[in-house]
Amino acid sequence: MTAAGCDHNRINTLTREALAAQGLVMGEDYESLSVIFPAQKTGCAWAGLGSVPGPYTWINLYGTAGGLGVLGHEFGHNLGLGHQGRSMCTDGDLVDCTSNGTSAKSLMGGGGPAAGFSAPEMIRAGWLSGSEAVEVDASGTYTLRSLHGAGEGTRALDIPMGEDRLVVEYRHAAGTLDGAIEGVHAYRVPKGAYGSSALIDMTEANKTVANDAATDADAITAVTDTASMVSVAVVFSGGGKATVKVSLDGEKLTAAPSAGKTADANPAPAPEHTGSDTDAGDGAADATEVRSGGSAPAEDTTDLAATGGGSNTVPLAATGTLLVAAGAGALVMMRRRRRA
């Protein structure tokens, strides 16, 4: 591994050669490959790298451990997801917004593993069925269940907004997810690119994983896009469900009095977190995208997304994966190829 330096293509090539020597061939015995290696062996400045989309990830261990958030973030890149940003629209209209930081609502936006993925990202990955992600084609009132909660029902509204889409979700604590996220949230999807969505924030709270802002500090109560004549207002939100009204005909909706950010009678404790949002699992704010080159295989010529530092405990096993030693202090996580 030391011989490869920080050449991710070379690291990938040497790893596949070592696996081939053991009789394991890419495309025949496994379909994705994650190489986990100590920083001391390579001197890489990034914590993680993933093909966007594609089958390869590289996880660089700072010291002796690497974060679960970094691993999940890079797998998100493999699914075709970019870094999820935050769009500040404090004047109440979506025609006048500025980009500012990350969403803190997703593994792809500095939210760490306790946030999971957001609704537009789950739509991009194909994880929401047609009844769970409803494409709105008429004005009306809709009921949402919590995005990650158990049971059946609508989890997201997918609303046309000119050339873009507006995805609305309801977040509420469910198992190990969303203990620090509550309320109805909205995302702009540029020209149908669900993997490039951005959180719409109508407030100035700047809610992040690390600060002490309320769990629903940046939840919406009403949003309007005058350019596309779309308006959304929250009728009720809390206790595991939300009611949302949508207008597609130019009517500017306002939040109902009961849409006030309702505190759960028995809120789940927020997940423990120390450090910056970068440490929460991905460091998307400081990440850059680069194009791969060199001697990597054809599948490796897709875009790569680099991730900043992070440190927790590296998972040594995962459902549906095989973890093997690859020599020179590296670990390799492979997803087995399904046999016909």
Is residue 300 domain-shared with residue 192, that is, in the same domain?
Answer: no
> What CA–CA distance (Å, rounded) separates 65 from 88?
35
How far from the centroid of its chain's Cα atoms is residue 176's Cα? 16
Residues forming a β-bridge with 164: 161
Is the domain of 118 the same as that of 54?
A: no
> Domain range for residue 144?
85-259
The answer to whether 47 and 60 have CB atoms below 8 angstroms apart is yes
**pLDDT at residue 193, as a whole number:** 97
Going by C-alpha positions, the residue among 34, 42, 70, 60 that lies closest to residue 326 is 34
- DSSP run (H or E) holding 52: strand 48-52
Same domain, 160 and 301: no
Within a domain: 276: no
Whole-prediction pTM value? 0.79
Express each pLDDT in 288-301 by its tens digit.
232 222 233 344 43
Taking phi over 0 as left and psi of -120 to 50 as alpha, with beta for the rest, 181 belongs to: beta
Among 216, 239, 259, residue at a domain's last position: 259
45: Cα separation from own chain's centroid: 22
Beta pairing, strands 331-336 & 30-38 = antiparallel
What pLDDT is attached to residue 72? 92
Clarify whether residues 99 and 233 are in a common domain. yes
Angle 6-12-15 (CA atoms, 0-180°, nearest 5)? Answer: 110
Q: Indicate if 293 and 326 belong to the same structural domain.
A: yes
At 248-272, the pLDDT tens digits run 999 999 988 866 555 444 444 333 3
Residues of the chain with confidence (pLDDT) below 50 = 64-65, 263-301, 310-329
Tell me the C-alpha distance between 184 and 200, whole Å.
11
| Domain membership flag for residue 272 | no
CA distances from 31 to 91, 322, 330 (A): 47, 11, 19
Q: Which of 122, 36, 108 is nearest to 69 (CA)?
A: 108
Q: Same structural domain for residues 141 and 90?
A: yes
**Looking at the structure, do residues 158 and 295 belong to the same domain, yes or no?**
no
Whether residues 300 and 244 share a domain: the answer is no
Helix (H, G, I), strand (E, B) or coil at 284: helix
67 lies in the same domain as 174: no
- pLDDT at position 209: 80
